[in-house]
A and B are shown apart, each in its own frame.
Chain A
Amino acid sequence: MPGKRARPELERTRKLEAMRVRGVRGGVITPHRSMVGLPWTAFRLLTTLLLSLGGLLLLYVSLPGLGRFWQEIFERTIHFLGLPVPLGDQVWTVPGGLEFTLPVLAVVTPLPGTREIWIAVLVSVLVFALSFLLPVRFTPLRYFLRLLAIVEGSAIAFFAFSTESFPYRLQDHVFILLSAGLVVMALVPLVLGLTLHVFDLAFWKKLLLTLAILAHLAVFIPLQVLVHIWLVLHGSAVLMPVLFLVFGLLLDVLVFVAFYGWALSWQGELERRDLSPPAHLAMPARRQPA
């Protein structure tokens, strides 16, 4: 039969080839880490493009649904919080003619009076002072608290001298964060394509990760904005700068980096295949000495 003689030879060749790179217990002898790279495959290039463009497309077609979802969250949460904030929506059109809505507030932005400014001063000074009381091993936290105090200090200085000229209303703050959040979500599949999909993770893992990040941000962004709304309505606009600059986009990027770090700690396909025991290899085992 054609191929009949070739099969035992092929089997033998495979065994011998495996013996070249496998240790006595079956584990693969890998090259030193200073020499290894990552083999590139056309499949991975294809899936990278597919996941990136697919993720973008998915987000695009989901925009109307996402808008309605955010509107729903806003309505329910504002009602839950008991906030006297009339809520509307505004229609936006993206290239391609697709329309979606974003929640819009109709509320007067509470500008800080003397009382609010002094409270902000007191809290900022306390936070700044606290940063010096923390032990040295909390140095990053010390620096972060000082950063908060300094940014809030800049807001206090601005409002102390020029309250009326503050250029943002609460509606603007909300809109900027929501639209910036959408841009971050749009960047997710692209940045993943450039920096994560190039690795040898399984396709389904990459797909799930893309969806997980988008789903997480889809929930986090409106919650984040709602927290801001409550804080500004109760603490005045003197909180808007620090909320925007420190607790806005930086947190969205933090979410992405956290997912990214977690995903790249997963086992790759090359490693998974190499670690599986060689079922066909009839290797006499060598026991460890007692």
Chain B
Amino acid sequence: MRLALLIPLYAIVAVLIIYTVRHYLFTLNRLFGRHRQPYVDIGTAAWPRVAVFVPCHNEERVIAQMLDALLACDYPERQLVIIPINDRSSDGTSRILADYAGRFPVRVAPFHRKGGKPGKAAALKDAMEASDAAIHLVFDADYLPGRGLIKQLVGPFFDPEVGAVMGRVVPMNVNKTLLTRLLDLERTGGYQVDQQARMNLGLIPQYGGTVGGVRRTALIHMGGWRDDTLAEDTDITFRLILAGWEVVYQNRSECYEEVPENWPSRIRQIKRWARGHNQALARYWWPLLKRPAHLRRWAVVDGLLLLGVFAVGPLLLLGWVLAVALYYMGVQLSVGVYVILAVAMYSTLGNFAAFFEVAAGARLDGSRGRIRLLPFLIVGFLVSLVSVSWATLVQMATFWRKDQLWDKTERHREAGAMIPKETG
């Protein structure tokens, strides 16, 4: 009986150690390694035609500012079309989109969905045919792209191997609550260190579904967006990689986003991410393990670890349960086991970035003060851990269900609210 509990516990501890080592190596690489951002200086080119898709479901609070930001970008006007996807909105979104389409008839071309499957993935799938532009960029409605961002995101597509590009997401509403400050730290660890290190090392940066885009021919090659997934970003990332395309992360291409400001919003968001990510894990772990000839061994290893990132949470919880059970059985576990389990609680669950990775990212950002909040990571982690574990359990218990419930992230910004002024 003891062995039946010890073996899985040590297996879980081994997984945690692997992730810890992985994130440590990423941190070292980001701090000291050779930095790769080969496409960021492409400032002059014969810019290809770009369609910017903005999925909207009841986004009246934020969509106007988003469209204003896109219309103000320095991408050649004739080469850019903005396609807000009005996904069965019941608020003032339709009215706002009609107003913009009226004022900018060529540049803004709303796509209206009256029915069909709910969710961002389904919306993108339906709207894909609305444009034959070479590049399809996607932004969530609450994002605020800067003037130069579109060019920066398009630059990597001059590389014929690049199938998708991802920029860096920067929380705008950091100062609202403890949660927003913790999520800001999570994003910092995830983008400034994690994603960039994977780019540096030639591993698999992840396309994150917003502040990024996909090459249209790659999308067609893949069969388009899948509407049976809650994480269309993770899904397309692995389909592209497995098919021989490259995904590029560009740290310089930053864009403001709005993070959840209250715990229920955060819980809904992370549950959706977990379910979507677990779907991708179930679908792509075996094709990845079979290692297509074009993928390096380490890219495969990292890809598997990336797929498993949301599964680690429930594993950690299971590890604690096993540790408790073994405690009652009088098994004296090594102190190291408890230390590993304890240290893992000071991570950020969205990407399982360890506390030192978060701290390194914040230091590179020049944001030293917020590193003092590191002990509070356990606060956010506990909530995320329980939420993700519950979502995974429910998902496993209802795996036969084909329909996916899409929980939209709540918007908090007031329409017309001030955004941080640019500098530089």
* A and B touching (Cβ–Cβ under 8 A): yes
A-side residues, CB < 8 A to B, are 30, 32-38, 40, 136-137, 139-140, 143-144, 147, 151, 154, 158, 166-168, 176, 179-180, 183-184, 187, 194-196, 198-199, 241, 244-245, 248-250, 252-254, 257-258, 260-262, 264-268
Q: Closest CB-CB distance, B180 to chain A, in whole Å?
A: 12
Q: Once the chains bind, are A168 and B252 in contact (CB under 8 Å)?
A: no
Say if the beta carbon of B345 comes within 8 Å of chain A.
Answer: yes
Known interface pairs A36-B364, A136-B262, A168-B330; A154-B324 also in contact (CB < 8 Å): yes
The 8 Å CB contact of A35, one of B177, B252, B386, is B252
**Residue from A34, A158, A176, A199 in contact with B254 in the complex, judged by beta carbons closer than 8 Å:** A34
Q: Which residues of A contact B335 (CB under 8 A)?
A: 179-180, 183-184, 249
Q: Is there contact, CB below 8 Å, between A261 and B24?
A: no
The distance from the CB of A221 to the nearest CB of chain B, in whole angstroms, is 13
Of listed A36, A158, A166, residue having the most chain B CB within 10 A: A36
CB distance from A32 to the nearest CB of B (A): 6
Q: Do B330 and A151 touch (CB < 8 A)?
A: no
Chain A residues closer than 8 Å to B35, beta-carbon distance: 35, 37
CA distance A260 to B377 in the complex (A): 13
Chain-A contact segment, one of B101-109, B115-123, B355-363: B355-363
In the complex, what residue of chain A is closest to B386 when comparing beta carbons? Answer: A143
In the complex, the answer to whether A265 meets B383 with C-beta atoms within 8 Å is no
Interchain residue pairs with CB less than 8 A apart (5): A34-B252, A151-B324, A194-B24, A253-B343, A260-B374
Closest B residue by C-beta to A252: B342
Q: Which of B10-18, B302-310, B365-373 lies at the interface?
A: B365-373
The interface residues of chain A lying within 8 Å CB-to-CB of B196 are 34
Closest approach, in angstroms, between the C-beta of B331 and any C-beta of chain A? 8
Do residues B345 and A260 form an inter-chain contact, with CB atoms below 8 A? no
Contacts of B368 in A (CB 8 A): 264-267
Contact status A167-B374, CB under 8 Å: no
A244:B32 contact, CB within 8 angstroms: no
A250→B320 CA distance, assembly (Å)? 12
6 closest pairs, A vs B, by CB? A167-B330, A261-B374, A139-B263, A34-B251, A195-B356, A34-B252
Q: Tell me the bound Cα distance from A38 to B192 in angstroms.
A: 13
- Cα A223 to Cα B63 in complex, Å, equals 56
In the complex the two chains form, is A249's CB within 8 Å of B374's CB?
no
Interface residue? B332 (CB, 8 A)? yes
A34-B168, A250-B345, A257-B346 known; A264+B363 contact, CB < 8 A:
yes
Candidates A36, A183, A250, A260; contact of B359 at CB < 8 Å: A260
Q: Check if A167 sits within 8 Å of B329, measured CB to CB.
A: yes
Instruction: Return the contact of B339 from the options A167, A253, A266 (Cβ within 8 A).
Output: A253
Tell me, in angstroms, the Cα distance from A40 to B336 when the chains sit together: 30
Query: Chain B: which residue is nearest A241 at the CB level?
Result: B327
Task: For the complex formed, measure the closest distance between the CB of B35 and the CB atoms of chain A, giving whole angstroms.
Answer: 6
* B contact residues around A136 at 8 Å (CB): 262-264
Type the 1/0 row for B1-33, where 1 means its CB is closer than 8 Å to any CB of A: 000000000000000000000001001101111
In the docked arrangement, what's the CA distance between A253 and B365, Å?
26
Contact yes or no, A33 B343, CB < 8 A: no
Complexed CA–CA distance, A109 and B247 (Å): 61
Contact between chains at B327 and A139 (CB < 8 Å):
no
Chain B neighbourhood of A267, CB < 8 A? 368
B382 contacts partner chain A, Cβ-Cβ < 8 Å: yes
| B208 within 8 Å of A (CB atoms) | no
Beyond the given pairs A180-B335, A257-B377, 13 more chain A to chain B contacts, judged by CB atoms under 8 angstroms and listed by A's residue number, are A34-B192, A38-B31, A137-B263, A139-B267, A139-B383, A183-B335, A249-B342, A250-B342, A252-B342, A253-B339, A258-B375, A261-B371, A267-B368
Find A167's partner among B264, B328, B359 (CB 8 Å cutoff): B328
A179 CA to B192 CA, complexed, in Å: 38
Contact B327 A245 (CB under 8 A): yes
Across the interface, do B28 and A198 meet the contact criterion of CB distance under 8 Å? yes
- Kindly report which residue of chain B lies nearest to residue A258, judged by CB atoms: B375
CA distance A38 to B31 in the complex (A): 5
Known: A34-B168, A34-B254, A250-B342. A262 touches B380 (CB 8 A): no
Q: How far is the CA of A258 from the CA of B371 in the complex (A)?
A: 10
For A158, what are the chain B residues with a Cβ–Cβ distance below 8 Å? 328
Q: In the assembly, what is the distance between CA of A194 and CA of B68, in Å?
A: 46
B357's nearest neighbour on chain A, judged by CB, is A195
Chain B neighbourhood of A183, CB < 8 A? 335-336, 339
Tell whether, in the assembled complex, residue A137 and residue B262 are in contact, meaning their CB atoms are under 8 Å apart: yes
**Nearest chain-A residue to B338 (Cβ)?**
A249
Complex: chain A residue closest to B250, CB-CB: A34
- Would you give the shortest CB distance from A156 to chain B, in whole angstroms? 12
Chain B residue, CB-CB nearest to A251: B342
Cα distance, A252 to B196, chains bound together (Å): 32
Contacts of A194 in B (CB 8 A): 24
How far, in whole Å, are A199 and B342 apart by their CA atoms in the complex?
A: 24
Complex: chain B residue closest to A158, CB-CB:
B328
Verify A260–B378 contact, CB threshold 8 A: no
Q: Does B131 sit within 8 A of A, measured CB to CB?
A: no
